[in-house]
Amino acid sequence: MNDTILIVEDEPKIARLIADYLSKSGYASDHIDHGNTVMEWLEEQTPLLILLDLMLPGTDGLTLCRQIRERYPSLPVIMLTARVEEVDRLLGLELGADDYICKPFSPREVVARVKAVLRRTHGSVLGESPAEGDRLVLDEDGWRALAGGQDLGLTAVEFQLLKVMMQSPGRIFSRDQLMDHMYRDHRIVSERTVDSHVKKLRRKIADIWPERDIIRSVYGVGYKYQPEE
């Protein structure tokens, strides 16, 4: 395995923009603009992660994702799509994608998602060390969240809430979506309950990092985790 991110995208401007931002974060990248050549490329090289566009000339992204999962089950894949229908999103994830990003997107969001997926799949990301004291780190075995090395003292529900949002930086979660992740027994709770948990989570983060705003409200929609650059 090398340190390359494979960008499979048929729009050259988008591919160049992503490559530039990945480079600034310390990642090398390679670019393929046609679906028919992806599997051949993978026979010669194994990237850290694949950014895979849904709509490609030749073999489409969903078919490629299925083929990649069958042949390389542990290779992380993030799907890029301009088709926002829920069935496409769910189908992409059911085929084995680790995450998806909807176009138009911020290249910073792409980099943040890449880092988040690499943390989940490799335990760390390029240029970062688990011992760094200026990061928010989840200890899933101990159900703890550490901000700058300090335990936030989260409840189980707060930990699950933070974990869900951190797994997809920049993604906006509705209150209903957060409730589904927070309460696996599908108990009936009000939206105000979610707001209350978010408020407490923010307060605990602010006690350690008063100058940071990493859990953000999106008016009329929900919440998102937005790590600072």
Q: Note the pLDDT of residue 187.
A: 53
What is the structure's pLDDT at 131?
43
Greater confidence (141 vs 192) lies with 192
Of 70, 53, 166, 81, nearest to 120 by C-alpha is 166
Nearest by Cα to 97 from 8, 183, 173: 8
User: Does the structure show a pLDDT above 90 at 108?
Assistant: no
| R_g over Cα of the chain | 18
Contacts of 207 (CB under 8 A, 6+ apart): none
Q: What is the mean pLDDT of residues 126-144?
A: 66
Q: How many CB atoms lie within 10 A of CB 86?
A: 7
Name all domains of the chain by residue range, CATH numbers in brackets.
4-122 (3.40.50.2300), 136-225 (1.10.10.10)
Question: pLDDT for 46-72, tens place per residue?
Answer: 899 999 999 999 999 989 998 998 888
pLDDT tens, residue by residue, 12-23: 999 999 999 999
How far does the chain reach from its first CA to its final CA, in angstroms? Answer: 27
Give, as one character, the DSSP assignment of residue 96. Answer: T
- Whether pLDDT at 123 is above 70: no
Q: How far apart are CA 14 and CA 224, in angstroms?
A: 24
